[in-house]
Amino acid sequence: MSQALKLDDDEQDLKYVGTRPVRPDGVDKVTGRAKFGADLHLPGMLTGQVLRSPHPHARIVSIDTSKAEALAGVKAVITRDDFQDMESEFVPAGEMMVNYRDVVRNVMAREKVLYEGHAVAAVAATSNSIARKALRLIDVEYEVLPHVIDAVAAMAPDAPLLHDDMMTEGVDPKPDTPSNVSKRVEFALGDVEKGFAEADVIVEREFNTKPVHQGYIEPHACVASMSEDGQADLWCSTQGHYVVRTHCARLLNLDVSKIRVTASEIGGGFGGKTVVYLEPLALALSQKTGHPVKMVMSRDDVFRATGPTSGANVWVKMGATKDGRITAAEAVLKYQAGAFQGSPVQPGCMCAFAPYDLENVKTVGYDVVTNRPKVAAYRAPGGPISEYATESVVDELAKMLGIDPVDFRLRNAAREGTHAAYGPKFGPIGLVETLEQAKAHEHYNTPLKPGQGRGIASGFWFNIGGETCVTLNINEDGSATLMAGTPDIGGSRASLALMTAERLGIEPEKVRPLIADTSSLGYNFLTGGSRATFSSGMAAVEAADEAIKEMCARAAKIWEIPEDAVVWEDGHAKPAGDNAGKFDPLSLADIADMAGKTGGPIGGAARINAKGAAPSFGTHMVDLEVDEETGRVTILRYTVLQDAGRAVHPSYVEGQYQGGAVQGIGWALNEEYIYGEDGRMQNPGFLDYRIPVASDVPMIDTVIVEVPNPRHPYGVRGVGETPIVPPMAAIANAMENATGIRFTELPMSPPKVLKAIEDRDGG
Amino acid sequence: MSKYHVSTTINGDPVEYLCEPEQTLLDVLRDELYLTGSKEGCASGDCGACSVLVDDRLVCACLALGAEMGGKKIETIEGMADGDELHPLQQKFLEHAALQCGICTPGFLVAAKSLLDRNPDPTEEETRYWLAGNLCRCTGYDKIIRAVLDTAAEMRSGK
């Protein structure tokens, strides 16, 4: 069941924004017609496959590819020798940064392999079976080195070093000996010591979380085709085809204009498809062979070699007065980055206490390299980990003080004007509304049965804007084509069509939204940070306004009146001012039909750096019960309340809320990377890395709160990331209420829950 | 290595193909016949993205060999719509927004059709367990389950 809470009905009279039409790409996706990464076949296409390291840490002594190259059907083998080394240079990748020196080493190991699954060589062959055989013929001599998997262990002075030149940034004086800590970050406001001195109660806890994978159902896949003159076409499943183009151009030393990247339909990303893995290899193999090369990861490859998000160790201390006011909050976060620096510890620090209006806050973060795959963004990267810890402590404080957990949060909630601990002052935000709605919700007021527990937690994510281009063409029959450059992961074409139709005043079915290739439209930053509907929507509205201005000018020309004497209303140009009523309105279709005679084709374009992204806050509520004999947790009921700013297509907003909640349920209860003593992952498949299935979860109720973002033409905030932030704490808080046990480790899987119950009962 | 010659029926049409002994039915559908609506998410029978019907039985195409399919009747997502008319499940998935990225959708539709062919009036719990072999990472399953139950109700009422 879903409810929408409208807070601003008087503000805009909207005809299409807020409705639920069938999405433009829907029929293709229910008939199997939609083409995803692995669905493209080209004549003469070869298969590319990757040889991966069996060791978590080893020096590569030598690589002998001669036997593989001699095998009939093998067209090329590539290794580290096929890629030039790169200088250290940081560039944005999603909400995180990557360093080209690391990127070139991550796509193909150079001096060392740094994790099990690290790419060492790749082959292109005429069939899968020949490619597999060729991989077995490549001789790699390794000098195996000691490895370290855990972040805290990697910070020990005697830990095996991954990078001999890693001197911790952000400490003064800068160390002169290397370590596995790439940087220290700190965010502080006020004086925490003073704040703790004012507190009547203080809670201090240490939490541990495991790396979890984005778990997109579509493995990474691409097809590359490069001609002899170095012009390349690349088809791939990605959240950012322009970013792929940039990276590939750099790694292969090609002009950006030489590479045209087409984003296939993308079978889930959640942040994980913001970086390159196969794409530079496929291009290099195509360059070497003169054939198109297709590369597709196995699920095993996806787990072992692509980014999960960090596992972490988080220490939190918070204090509050008897009347429920938080006086100080402090946290230390140690995040695993995987083999190369760049965990989301910085956003983790910034999110940690963002839902609260606090005077005294301090967060310190450490970015720690370990012998695991390099982490990639995963939905609100960094936030779910730190907010799991802080929202657990908030709940504990409320309980110690005997205050209802919603009331306690309301008493301390961030509001418009709150100075966030990480810097800015919040504009209009909807946290209080989600809490008030939670408290009034029938779910919160329904009694529980014995043995059941209810938990609540709030969450925050920034949301981002960024570089965005769209082109809008008004077609000769009065329909319109919108080309956007942010790959559509979860229905953004639907929302873009709705906003464009709203602005133009034509029916949404008349607007065909497409994701353009990188050569057909200017640069777009990737789909991430919940920016696609926000930024491309803003650009689409700007492009529509340009087209409207031109259509008004054409009408003025036809009527022989000044351009500024024409207004656009409800899809029609109308004479205004002194000329009002003198001419019959001209519809968009009328003007489009006459475009050839009035000045040529009509359209609009926008090239913007979208500003004004606004955070989205949410509050989750969960009921659960624990089987005390097996440790199994059953989620009985779940409600998500979140501020969308405005829900352009409410069904897909609900879908984001529901999907995020269920990913969070998996993170809380089941999902984890399990490593053996040998540093090898033991559960690289969906049987053993168990994501939630349909029978694990109930319906997920949603409440869409709408506190419009004043800096977006339709009030959009972006909704995709926040829903994964609250679930882990909400579930941990419910577990505490059900069992009396405060769980401080994720996942709360049956063996751990059972052991905690036995410990509680003195067994 | 010589290839097997297989004669079979796919979506009602007679089809012949050659395949290597190690190629799965999914490999054959996707790489030899270019029926790419069936997806590979795991190649180990855990995700259900390659769900097809073989002689009316729901199977993961990644767990069956292409060489075994002689004389069988195979149904894939590409055969689900009747000409330009969508199957009621396909229509309800669209109306309920029961898909986000869409990679799991063909498998869910084939599996759901198999459920409704057997049980026109499934409970929510029966539906959830029947579809427990199909993974979706985007939707949290809510809208998928609603779409299937709504389809069942509509088909029962004979609309």
- Alpha-carbon gap: A707 to the closest alpha carbon of chain B (Å): 24
A165 has pLDDT over 80: yes
C-alpha distance from residue A539 to each of A142, A298, A320, A501, A613 (Å): 52, 37, 45, 13, 13
d(CA B20, CA B8) in angstroms, rounded, equals 16
What's the pLDDT at A7? Answer: 41
d(CA A164, CA A70) in angstroms, rounded, equals 37
In this structure, whether the domain defined by A427-458+614-763 belongs to CATH 3.50.50.60 is answered with: no
Number of Cβ within 10 Å of residue A89's Cβ equals: 12
d(CA A279, CA A107) in angstroms, rounded, equals 9
- Given A31, A296, A700, which is nearest B81 (Cβ)? A31
d(CA A9, CA A693) in angstroms, rounded, equals 38
Contacts of B84 in chain A (CB under 8 A): none
- Domains of chain B: which residue ranges? 4-79, 88-156
pLDDT tens digits, one per residue of A185-214: 999 999 999 999 999 999 999 999 999 999
Side-chain-facing half-sphere of A637: CA atoms under 13 Å: 18
Number of Cβ within 10 Å of residue A399's Cβ equals: 17
Number of Cβ within 10 Å of residue B34's Cβ equals: 10
d(CA A251, CA A304) in angstroms, rounded, equals 23
Number of residues written out for chain A: 763
What's the pLDDT at A95? Answer: 63
Least Cα distance to B138 among A377, A383, A648, A658 occurs for A658
Least Cα distance to A163 among A90, A43, A59 occurs for A59
Amino acid at A32: G
Contacts of A269 in chain B (CB under 8 A): 101
In this chain, the answer to whether the domains covering B4-79 and B88-156 adopt an identical fold is no
Chain B interface test: which of A27, A31, A235, A488 (most B C-beta within 10 Å)? A31
CATH topology of domain A2-34+465-610: Aldehyde Oxidoreductase; domain 4 (3.30.365)
Least Cα distance to A96 among A372, A345, A268 occurs for A345
Q: A686, B49: Cβ pair inside 8 Å?
A: no
- Is the CB of residue B127 less than 8 Å away from at least one CB of chain A? yes
Mean pLDDT taken over chain A: 96
- Cα A37 to its chain centre, rounded Å, is 19
Contact A655, A179 (CB under 8 A): no
- Given A216, A687, A696, which is nearest B44 (Cβ)? A687
Chain B interface test: which of A29, A239, A691 (most B C-beta within 10 Å)? A29
DSSP A638-674: EEEEEE-SS-SSHHHHHHHHHHHHHHHHHHHHT----
In this structure, whether the domain defined by B4-79 belongs to CATH 3.10.20.30 is answered with: yes
Q: Which CATH number fits the domain B88-156, given the four candidates 3.40.50.2000, 3.40.190.10, 3.40.50.2300, 1.10.150.120?
A: 1.10.150.120
- Alpha-carbon gap: B33 to the closest alpha carbon of chain A (Å): 11
A19 has pLDDT over 60: yes
Number of residues written out for chain B: 159
Query: Is-cis flag, bond preceding A747, omega within 30?
Result: yes
Strand partners, B52: B59
In this structure, whether the domain defined by A46-147+214-305 belongs to CATH 3.30.200.20 is answered with: no
What's the pLDDT at A295? Answer: 98
Chain A interface test: which of B36, B63, B103, B128 (most A C-beta within 10 Å)? B103
Least Cα distance to B78 among B15, B155, B3 occurs for B15
pLDDT tens digits, one per residue of A61-117: 999 999 999 999 999 999 999 999 999 888 876 667 789 999 999 999 999 999 999
- Alpha-carbon gap: B75 to the closest alpha carbon of chain A (Å): 13
C-alpha distance from residue B55 to each of A489, A528, B59, B71 (Å): 34, 43, 10, 10
In this chain, the answer to whether the domains covering A46-147+214-305 and A427-458+614-763 adopt an identical fold is no
pLDDT tens digits, one per residue of A531-551: 999 999 999 999 999 999 999
Rounded to two decimals, the pTM is 0.97
Residues A192, A198, A200, A203: what is their CA dihedral angle, to the nearest 10 degrees? 0
Q: Which B positions 33-92 lie with beta carbon below 8 A of chain A?
A: 34-44, 46-47, 49, 76-78, 80-81, 86, 90
Amino acid at A310: S
The answer, yes or no, to whether ipTM is higher than 0.90 is yes
The DSSP letter of residue B36 is T
Q: B137, A217: Cβ pair inside 8 Å?
A: yes
Amino acid at A157: P
- Domains of chain A: which residue ranges? 2-34+465-610, 46-147+214-305, 427-458+614-763
Question: CA A98, A90, A300 angle in degrees (round to 5)?
Answer: 15
Cα radius of gyration rounded to whole Å, chain B: 16
Least Cα distance to A23 among A513, A547, A699, A522 occurs for A513
d(CA A14, CA A502) in angstroms, rounded, equals 7
pLDDT tens digits, one per residue of B67-104: 999 999 999 999 999 999 999 999 999 999 999 999 99
Side-chain-facing half-sphere of A374: CA atoms under 13 Å: 27
Contact A523, A479 (CB under 8 A): no
pLDDT tens digits, one per residue of A645-661: 999 999 999 999 999 99
